[in-house]
């Protein structure tokens, strides 16, 4: 049966080809232009240079929401009738055909070698919306992924932008540096004209776009890669890619900042991304890097439920409502874009609110964006880590990311973490990701929130104005001595934490420890002890802000028992002192009562 079917199937394909039949998902492409831009600081660290640029066309403006690196170069593709775009329901899926050859190109040079990219080829990769940049004889020099896209069937325009441009296997091999495969060195944009096949339905506004009922629930479903974006003054800026999905029953607004007022909140509501870097050493879990706030601005809406809001006629235009079941993605470069990053202090994290008047992007307070991030570097608002903190022996490292989404019903599936393995090759840092994404905060890698081992506890305190967490791990040192290590996490408690009390019931403690993420000894919290216990208190304005973890510790001549710690809020509100379950030293072998209860 199969032997009889195969020839008929092949003949059918051949007949279709001879007749010029085009599948409804295949849109012929022409006037293709490819634009590359490079992170020059990173290229210098690598000793990699772009030389002999030939037949470059004038750079094109690209999409208004595209990010740029230094000195973009653009090239025109050669006409080839076999090149098509696989577009399903106005969602770009794949580049079809042999790839796009370009007129002109450039050379790459490094110490000890060169590689010609003259007449380079933009070729399809295996995964949707992924590409390879090849030499004309087939070497894979770059790969590009995490595309944003826009398909305008009315004008016949296709734009792909915000792609990470990564070192490919053949360039890494030529440089004798296999560890560089996947290192992001810049960005890629593609512009093309497309012929819309006859009978293609126009993309209107699904009725679901005006429906804001249901529960908003955005889940982080991937941290794809982690990379260096800048080095300087002993610091390295680190950025992840991120992928999320609408797993709730309501649409989620995703409007670009300063773009107008839209339902359901009559503003330019959008999510905000933060990320942090952590280290476990000597039994302690410490935050060593903290990012600013990345303002989300566009959603790709792939893999959506049937009938989901994905239309270009949706309020605010295409890609500004995350529809039901829809997935979205952001590249490393996109997340670390200076034009999208600002200060955490501007966000009310528990409410997902931002008043842009007088903000980092509206510095004169007139309600109009007057600052685009120009003049800033990747070190200004990204997650910056001391290089020495990445070189601690016998340590493990982690990165977590969290999308702050207004009215989201579950913040803990909107965040997630992966273990990372830092490596320095003498030129740049690379970060392997040996584990898969786990939802929740990275501190759960230290002490499980569902099955904490004996002598440890992981407690979440949920308040109307935010979430706090106290995690404790104890170690029996022998001789009747126990080490107590605490990680206090402020998830989204905007009133901040200004004090941390642990009951000790008169037990004398030693080897006090405090750690925060600002690397300024002058703001380290001070510790005092009385008959009830030990209290750490903030110095100056250095409270425990949202999305941040501080560490506290001591040694006591007593085993751990259940107790209540106290967290003191900085800003006024009720309650001023918050009680949370933890472990603390036993008093005279008896379980004690906390005087603060």
Same domain, 485 and 436: no
pLDDT of residue 417 exceeding 60:
yes
Average pLDDT on 302-315 reads 76
Residue 79 DSSP label: P
Confidence (pLDDT) at 7: 34
Structure tokens at 316: 């605010």
Same domain, 218 and 347: yes
Beta pairing class for 510-515 and 548-556? antiparallel
Domain boundary among 138, 166, 194: 194
| pLDDT band with cut points at 50, 70 and 90 for residue 596 | very low
Same domain, 313 and 252: yes
CB distance 220 to 415 below 8 Å: yes
Average pLDDT on 474-503 reads 97
The reply to whether 530 falls in a domain is: yes
Structure tokens at 155: 């004008």
Average pLDDT on 452-479 reads 97
Q: What is the largest CA-CA distance in the chain?
A: 91
Residue whose token pair is 């104890």:
474
| pLDDT band with cut points at 50, 70 and 90 for residue 11 | very low
pLDDT of residue 78 exceeding 90:
yes
The residue with greater pLDDT, 153 or 64, is: 153
Average pLDDT on 470-485 reads 97
Confidence (pLDDT) at 374: 82
CA 454 to chain centre: 34
Q: For residue 148, give the nearest of 107, 179, 189 by alpha carbon.
A: 189
pLDDT of residue 21 exceeding 80:
no
Q: For residue 53, give the nearest of 93, 94, 10, 107 by alpha carbon.
A: 107
Same domain, 246 and 173: no
| pLDDT band with cut points at 50, 70 and 90 for residue 60 | confident
Average pLDDT on 75-96 reads 91
Buried b / exposed e over 269-295, threshold 16 CB at 10 Å, is bbbbbbbbbbbbeeebbbbbbbbbbbb
Question: 481 has which bridge partners?
Answer: 478
Burial class, 521, CB count within 10 angstroms (exposed 0-12 / middle 13-18 / buried 19+): exposed
Average pLDDT, the chain: 90
Q: For residue 160, give the nearest of 130, 200, 205 by alpha carbon.
A: 130
What would you report as the CA-atom Rg of the chain, rounded to the nearest whole angstrom?
A: 27
Same domain, 60 and 92: yes
Tell me how many domains the chain contains. Answer: 3
CB distance 212 to 264 below 8 Å: yes
The reply to whether 364 falls in a domain is: yes
pLDDT of residue 443 exceeding 90:
yes
What predicted TM-score, i.e. pTM, was given to this entire model? 0.91
Same domain, 83 and 188: yes
From residue 420, give the alpha-carbon distance in Å to each of 248, 278, 288: 30, 9, 13
Same domain, 406 and 527: no
pLDDT digits (tens, 9 = 90+) for 135-144: 999 999 999 9
| pLDDT band with cut points at 50, 70 and 90 for residue 377 | confident
Least confident of 276-285, 305-314, 476-485, 555-564: 305-314
From residue 264, give the alpha-carbon distance in Å to each of 210, 251, 315: 9, 10, 10
Residue whose token pair is 């216990």:
533
Confidence (pLDDT) at 376: 85
Neighbouring residues of 29: CB distance < 8 A, sequence distance ≥ 6: 83, 84, 85, 95, 100, 158, 192, 193, 194, 195
Question: 184 has which bridge partners?
Answer: 166
| Dihedral class, residue 426 (left if φ above 0, else alpha if ψ from -120 to 50, else beta) | left
CA 34 to chain centre: 25
Residue 409 DSSP label: S
| pLDDT band with cut points at 50, 70 and 90 for residue 55 | confident
Same domain, 479 and 403: no
Question: In this structure, what CATH number is given to the domain that contains residue 477?
Answer: 2.60.40.2110
Buried b / exposed e over 245-261, threshold 16 CB at 10 Å, is bbbbebbbbbbbbebee
Reduced to 3 states (helix: H, G, I; strand: E, B; else coil), residue 209 is helix
| pLDDT band with cut points at 50, 70 and 90 for residue 202 | low
Same domain, 488 and 580: yes
Confidence (pLDDT) at 574: 95
Residue 572 DSSP label: S
The reply to whether 15 falls in a domain is: no
| pLDDT band with cut points at 50, 70 and 90 for residue 12 | very low
CB distance 177 to 426 below 8 Å: no
Structure tokens at 171: 């360039």
CB distance 415 to 402 below 8 Å: yes
pLDDT of residue 130 exceeding 80:
yes
Same domain, 504 and 370: no
Rounded Cα gap, residues 554 and 513, in angstroms: 6
Average pLDDT on 522-544 reads 94
Confidence (pLDDT) at 123: 97
The reply to whether 82 falls in a domain is: yes
The reply to whether 220 falls in a domain is: yes
Residue whose token pair is 């230290």:
446
pLDDT of residue 410 exceeding 70:
yes
pLDDT digits (tens, 9 = 90+) for 244-259: 999 999 999 999 999 9
Average pLDDT on 59-68 reads 72
**Torsion of the alpha carbons at 530, 534, 539 and 544, rounded to the nearest 10:** -150
Neighbouring residues of 108: CB distance < 8 A, sequence distance ≥ 6: 48, 49, 50, 51, 114, 115, 117, 141, 171
H/E run at residue 330: strand 327-330
Rounded Cα gap, residues 268 and 264, in angstroms: 10
The reply to whether 155 falls in a domain is: yes
pLDDT of residue 324 exceeding 60:
yes
Same domain, 162 and 214: no
The reply to whether 517 falls in a domain is: yes
Confidence (pLDDT) at 218: 98
pLDDT digits (tens, 9 = 90+) for 150-188: 888 888 899 999 999 999 999 999 999 999 999 999 999
Domain boundary among 194, 219, 235: 194
Structure tokens at 77: 């593709």
pLDDT of residue 449 exceeding 70:
yes
For residue 515, the tally of other CB atoms under 10 A from its CB is 18
Neighbouring residues of 581: CB distance < 8 A, sequence distance ≥ 6: 457, 459, 470, 562, 563, 564, 565
Show the domain range for 576: 452-585
Confidence (pLDDT) at 121: 97
Domain boundary among 423, 442, 461: 442
Residue 43 DSSP label: H
Measured at the CA of 197, the angle between CA 191 and CA 198, to 5 degrees, comes to 145
Omega prior to 349 cis, within 30 of 0: no
pLDDT of residue 533 exceeding 60:
yes
The reply to whether 513 falls in a domain is: yes
Q: For residue 554, give the nearest of 529, 577, 522 by alpha carbon.
A: 529
| pLDDT band with cut points at 50, 70 and 90 for residue 19 | very low
Burial class, 546, CB count within 10 angstroms (exposed 0-12 / middle 13-18 / buried 19+): buried
CB distance 268 to 259 below 8 Å: yes
For residue 343, the tally of other CB atoms under 10 A from its CB is 11
CB distance 99 to 123 below 8 Å: yes
Beta pairing class for 429-432 and 226-232? antiparallel
Same domain, 472 and 337: no
Confidence (pLDDT) at 597: 41
Structure tokens at 284: 């302690």
């Amino acid at each position: 049966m199969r032997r009889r079917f195969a020839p008929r199937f092949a003949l059918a394909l051949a007949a279709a080809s001879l007749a010029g039949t085009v599948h409804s998902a295949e849109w012929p492409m022409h006037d293709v232009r490819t634009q590359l831009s490079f992170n020059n600081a990173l290229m210098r660290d690598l000793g990699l240079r772009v030389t002999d640029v030939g037949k470059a066309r004038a750079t094109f403006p690209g999409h208004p929401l595209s990010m740029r690196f230094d000195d973009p170069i653009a090239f025109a593709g050669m006409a080839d009738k076999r090149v098509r775009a696989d577009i399903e329901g106005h969602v770009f899926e794949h580049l079809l055909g042999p790839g796009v050859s370009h007129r002109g190109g450039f050379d790459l040079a490094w110490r000890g070698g060169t590689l010609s990219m003259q007449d380079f080829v933009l070729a399809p990769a295996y995964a949707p919306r992924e590409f390879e940049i090849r030499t004309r004889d087939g070497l894979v020099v770059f790969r590009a992924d995490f595309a944003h896209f826009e398909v305008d069937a009315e004008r016949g325009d296709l734009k792909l932008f915000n792609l990470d441009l990564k070192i490919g296997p053949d360039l890494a091999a030529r440089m004798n540096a296999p560890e560089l495969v996947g290192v992001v060195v810049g960005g890629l944009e593609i512009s093309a004209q497309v012929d819309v096949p006859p009978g293609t339905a126009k993309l209107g506004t699904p009725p679901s776009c005006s429906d804001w009922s249901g529960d908003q629930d955005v889940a982080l479903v991937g941290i794809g890669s982690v990379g260096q974006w800048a080095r300087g003054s002993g610091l390295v800026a680190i950025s992840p890619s991120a992928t999320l999905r609408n797993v709730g029953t309501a649409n989620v607004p995703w409007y670009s900042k300063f773009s107008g007022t839209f339902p359901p909140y009559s503003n330019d509501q959008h999510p905000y991304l933060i990320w942090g870097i952590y280290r476990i050493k000597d039994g302690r879990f410490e935050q060593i890097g903290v990012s600013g706030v990345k303002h989300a601005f566009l959603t790709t809406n792939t893999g959506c439920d049937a009938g989901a809001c994905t239309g270009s006629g949706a309020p605010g235009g295409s890609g500004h409502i995350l529809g039901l079941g829809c997935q979205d993605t952001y590249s490393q470069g996109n997340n670390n874009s200076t034009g999208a990053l600002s200060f955490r202090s501007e966000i009310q994290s528990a409410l997902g609110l931002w008043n842009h008047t007088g903000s980092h992007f509206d510095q004169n307070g007139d309600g109009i964006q007057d600052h685009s991030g120009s003049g800033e570097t990747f070190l200004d608002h990204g997650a910056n880590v001391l290089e020495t903190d990445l070189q601690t022996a016998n340590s493990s490292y982690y990165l977590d990311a969290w999308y702050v989404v207004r009215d989201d019903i579950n913040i803990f599936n909107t965040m997630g973490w992966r273990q990372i393995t830092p490596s320095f090759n003498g030129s740049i840092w690379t970060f392997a990701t040996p584990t898969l994404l786990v939802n929740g905060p990275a501190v759960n890698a230290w002490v499980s929130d569902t099955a904490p081992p004996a002598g440890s506890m992981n407690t979440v305190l949920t308040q109307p104005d935010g979430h706090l967490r106290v995690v404790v791990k104890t170690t029996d040192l022998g001789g009747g001595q126990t080490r107590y290590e605490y990680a206090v996490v402020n998830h989204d408690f905007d009133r901040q934490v200004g004090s941390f009390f642990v009951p000790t019931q008169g037990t004398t403690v030693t080897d006090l420890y405090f750690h925060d993420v600002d690397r300024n000894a002058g703001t380290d919290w001070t510790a005092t002890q009385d008959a009830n216990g030990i209290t750490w208190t903030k110095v100056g304005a250095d409270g425990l802000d949202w999305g941040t973890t501080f560490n506290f510790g001591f040694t006591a001549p007593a085993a751990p028992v259940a107790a209540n710690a106290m967290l003191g809020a900085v800003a006024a509100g009720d309650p001023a002192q918050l009680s949370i379950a933890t472990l603390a030293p036993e008093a005279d072998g008896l379980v004690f009562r906390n005087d603060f209860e």
